[in-house]
Structure 1
Amino acid sequence: MTSFTHDGFDLAFLDRGEGEPVLLIHGFASSHLVNWVSPGWFKTLNEAGYRAIAFDHRGHGQSTKSHDPADYTPEKMASDAAALLDHLGIARAHVMGYSMGARVSAFLALAKPDKVATLVFGGLGIGMVDGVGDWDPIADALRAEDAATVTHARGKMFRAFADQTRSDRKALAACIETSRTLLSENDMARITQPTLVAVGTTDDIAGNPVALAAMMPDAQALAIEGRDHMLAVGDKMFKQKVIAFLGEKGI
Structure 2
Amino acid sequence: MTAPQHWTASDGVDLVYREMGEGRPAILVHGLFSSADMNWIRFGHAAEIAGRGFRVIMPDLRAHGDSGKPHDPVHYPDGILARDLAELVAHLGLDDYDLGGFSLGARTTVEAVGRGLKPGKAFLGGMGLGGLQRWQRRKHFFLEAIAQFDTSSRGDPHWLSIQFMKTMKVDRAAAALLLDSFVDCEDGWLGAFTMPTLVVLGTEDGDNGSGEELAAALPDGTFRAVPGTHMSSVSEAEFGRAIADFLAASP
Could you tell me the TM-score, scaled by structure 2's length? 0.89
Q: Decide which moves more: 149-158 or 41-50.
A: 149-158
The aligned residue for residue 167 of structure 1 is 170
> How far apart are the structure 2 equivalents of 1:48 and 1:82?
25
The aligned residue for residue 121 of structure 1 is 124
Q: 1:191 aligns with which of 190, 193, 196?
A: 193
The aligned residue for residue 249 of structure 2 is 248
Name the SS for the 1:203 alignment partner. coil
In structure 2, the CA distance between the partners of 1:211 and 1:172, relative to structure 1 (3 Å rule), is: same
In structure 2, the CA distance between the partners of 1:70 and 1:194, relative to structure 1 (3 Å rule), is: farther
Q: Structure 1, residues 115-160: CA drift from partner, whole Å, max 9, x if none?
A: x11111000111343315454243133244x623467834222211
The aligned residue for residue 224 of structure 1 is 226
The aligned residue for residue 182 of structure 1 is 184
Q: 2:28 aligns with which of 24, 27, 32?
A: 24
> How far apart are the structure 2 equivalents of 1:135 and 1:35?
20
Name the amino acid aligned to 1:173.
A
> How far apart are the structure 2 equivalents of 1:140 and 1:152?
15
> How far apart are the structure 2 equivalents of 1:194 and 1:165?
33
Identity of aligned residues (%): 30
Q: 1:200 aligns with which of 198, 202, 205?
A: 202
Name the SS for the 1:80 alignment partner. helix
Indicate if the aligned counterparts of 2:79 and 2:181 stay in contact, CA closer than 8 A. no
> How far apart are the structure 1 equivalents of 2:201 and 2:74?
29
Name the amino acid aligned to 1:236.
A
Q: Which runs of 4+ in 1 moved over 6 A?
A: none
> How far apart are the structure 1 equivalents of 2:145 and 2:54?
39
Cα RMSD, aligned residues only: 2.1
In structure 2, the CA distance between the partners of 1:224 and 1:142, relative to structure 1 (3 Å rule), is: same
Could you tell me the TM-score, scaled by structure 1's length? 0.89
Name the amino acid aligned to 2:216.
A
> How far apart are the structure 1 equivalents of 2:152 and 2:114?
41
Name the amino acid aligned to 1:102.
A
Q: Is residue 139 of structure 2 the alignment partner of residue 138 of structure 1?
A: no
Q: Which runs of 5+ in 2 are unaligned?
A: none
Structure 1 residue 110, shift from structure 2 partner? 1.9
Name the SS for the 1:147 alignment partner. coil
Name the SS for the 1:65 alignment partner. coil
Name the amino acid aligned to 2:197.
T
Q: 2:150 aligns with which of 124, 140, 147?
A: 147
In structure 2, the CA distance between the partners of 1:29 and 1:11, relative to structure 1 (3 Å rule), is: same
Indicate if the aligned counterparts of 1:143 and 1:173 stay in contact, CA closer than 8 A. no
Structure 1 residue 99, shift from structure 2 partner? 0.3
